């Protein structure tokens, strides 16, 4: 057998074990008994220890030295395996295990603190998570890199904090100007009213997920505090959440997670359980969830179809025409919650988190001062005082599980989605007619063929540029937002 064959067989087993660990994470957020948290942290730590040992196995280095690729896919696999091996070799095994154990426990502690609006209950755990991640970042960065960039590279390879900051500096003025124009119009659109039982919301969520191409033979929808997608290949699960007073949260969380899930489901089957068998980066992943949710799911043609489905499921929803429903779906207000934010405000939520977590990792902001820093920044950016911690620094699960460097990929995903939407609509001039029939399939097929099926074959930026045939820029996103909300609000 060749070095390449041995390496790829070994990698396949590593990928399979990583999927098992991911399934434990899904279970923890959906159906795991509350009393099992401590045992689960030991299970996660044990699996991480096994995975770290495999990722740093000396044979991987020997195989990489000898392996020769004969195809583009083999060359890409070697590139990704080498990158993973070099990063894993820099992180001590005991640190990797400690991180897995601590973040597994921290998730439950965060959930209880969030439910009780008790920041003090969470701070000691968050302090421990931040310290561990800073140790990991120092190991990865070495003497030449920065701590935050070392962590960001886990989620968006090749991107730096300075590049993100420059992007946000370019985006902020137009976003703030658009917000001021929209909010200056006075009375916001009317919202939905009526009865929205959980079973009917979930029934409509399943219907909409199917319309966007989610494969239920290889997936399922469950409920979680914080919606997410988990898995790849032939087992890709999503979660949503239900508020019986507000059905749009369930519907659009579902569409968002279906964007993630169908990316994983549509990757070429030949890449299953290989280094190419997952989305190439979180920014590219977010481009899929955001374009499904916003440019497709919140478009006027699709909401005209959804309006009729809403009335079929819930009877009276308090709105009597498609235009009013479209305005309600795209209502702009300075709300507290990122996952419920409108498209105008969403990136401002990300900018806040990016600046705070970058300061935490650099040591410029102490964990003990995070709540005050969050509240001050939120009031400055949104003009509203945070009323309780679950509407502030406790609202997101990310920091509890150590995902520092993850947040900016949401805005990168929005930028990528803007570029993809521009190219897609150029190629599918009659797309709106299909969306008005509740049929996004021309768009989802275009995304599958241009981007999703390739998995990790190309680096993130190259993936987007190959799909769109052009350079990456924030301009298409900002132009789309200006045009859309000018039409809705008459500004």
Residue by residue, DSSP assigns 69-114 as --SHHHHHHHHHHHHHHHHHHHS-HHHHHHHHHHHHHHHHHHHHHH
Let me know: does 129 contact 400? Beta carbons within 8 Å: yes
Residues 6+ apart with CB under 8 A from 402: 99, 102, 103, 106, 129, 132, 133
Give the span between the Cα atoms of 139 and 90, in whole angstroms.
Answer: 6
221 in helix, strand or coil?
strand
Give the span between the Cα atoms of 304 and 297, in whole angstroms.
Answer: 10
Pairing of strands 221-223, 235-240: parallel
Backbone angles phi, psi at 157, to 5 degrees: -55, 135
180 is catalytic: no
Give the span between the Cα atoms of 34 and 326, in whole angstroms.
Answer: 40
Let me know: does 374 contact 386? Beta carbons within 8 Å: yes
Q: For residue 74, which of 63, 90, 86, 62 has the smallest C-alpha distance?
A: 63
- Please list the residues that pair with 229 across neighbouring strands: 238
H or E element in which residue 237 lies: strand 235-240
Catalytic residue among 15, 136, 257, 474: 257
Residue whose structure tokens are 């620094």:
393
Give the span between the Cα atoms of 375 and 362, in whole angstroms.
Answer: 20
Let me know: does 399 contact 126? Beta carbons within 8 Å: yes
Give the span between the Cα atoms of 376 and 383, in whole angstroms.
Answer: 10
Torsion angle (degrees, nearest 10) of CA 131, 134, 135, 136: 120
- Any idea which residues carry the catalytic annotation? 257
């Amino acid at each position: 057998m060749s070095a390449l064959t041995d390496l790829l067989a070994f990698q396949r087993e590593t990928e399979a074990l990583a999927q098992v660990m991911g399934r434990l994470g899904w279970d923890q957020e959906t159906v795991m008994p509350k009393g099992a948290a401590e045992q689960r942290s030991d299970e996660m730590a044990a699996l991480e220890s096994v995975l770290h040992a495999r990722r740093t196995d000396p044979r991987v280095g020997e195989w990489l030295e000898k392996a020769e690729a004969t195809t583009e896919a083999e060359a890409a696999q070697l590139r990704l395996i080498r990158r993973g091996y070099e990063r894993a070799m820099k992180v001590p095994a005991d640190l990797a295990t400690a991180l897995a154990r601590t973040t597994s426990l921290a998730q439950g502690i965060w959930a209880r603190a969030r439910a009780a609006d008790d920041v003090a209950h969470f701070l000691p755990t968050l302090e421990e998570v931040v310290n561990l991640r800073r140790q990991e970042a120092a190991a990865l960065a070495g003497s030449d890199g920065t701590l935050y960039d070392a962590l960001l590279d886990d989620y968006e390879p090749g991107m730096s904090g300075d590049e993100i900051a420059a992007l946000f500096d370019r985006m902020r003025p137009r976003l703030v100007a658009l917000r001021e124009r929209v909010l200056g119009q006075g009375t916001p659109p009317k919202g939905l009213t009526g009865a929205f039982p959980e079973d009917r919301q979930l029934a409509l969520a399943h219907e909409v997920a199917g319309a966007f191409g989610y494969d239920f033979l290889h997936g399922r929808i469950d409920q979680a505090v914080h919606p997410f997608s988990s898995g790849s290949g032939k087992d890709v699960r999503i979660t949503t959440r239900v508020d019986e007073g507000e059905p749009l949260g369930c519907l659009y969380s579902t569409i968002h997670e279906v964007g993630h899930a169908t990316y994983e489901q549509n990757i070429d089957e030949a890449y299953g359980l290989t280094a190419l068998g997952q989305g190439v980066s979180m920014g590219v992943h977010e481009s899929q969830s955001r374009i499904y949710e916003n440019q497709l799911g919140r478009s006027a043609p699709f909401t005209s179809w959804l309006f009729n489905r809403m009335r079929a499921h819930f009877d009276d929803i308090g709105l009597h025409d498609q235009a009013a429903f479209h305005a309600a779906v795209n209502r702009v207000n300075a709300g507290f919650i990122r996952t419920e934010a409108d498209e105008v405000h969403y990136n401002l939520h990300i900018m806040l988190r990016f600046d705070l977590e970058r300061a935490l990792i650099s040591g410029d902001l102490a964990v003990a001062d995070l709540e005050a820093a969050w509240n001050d920044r939120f009031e400055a950016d949104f003009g509203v005082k945070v009323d309780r911690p679950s509407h502030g620094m406790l609202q997101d699960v990310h920091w509890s599980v150590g995902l520092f460097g993850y947040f900016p990929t949401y805005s990168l995903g929005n930028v990528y989605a803007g570029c993809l939407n521009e190219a897609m609509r150029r190629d599918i001039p009659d797309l709106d007619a299909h969306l008005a029939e509740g049929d996004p399939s021309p768009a989802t097929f275009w995304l599958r063929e241009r981007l999703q099926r390739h998995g990790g074959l190309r680096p993130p930026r190259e993936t987007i540029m190959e799909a769109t045939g052009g350079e990456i820029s924030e301009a298409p996103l900002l132009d789309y937002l200006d045009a859309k909300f000018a039409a809705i609000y008459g500004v």
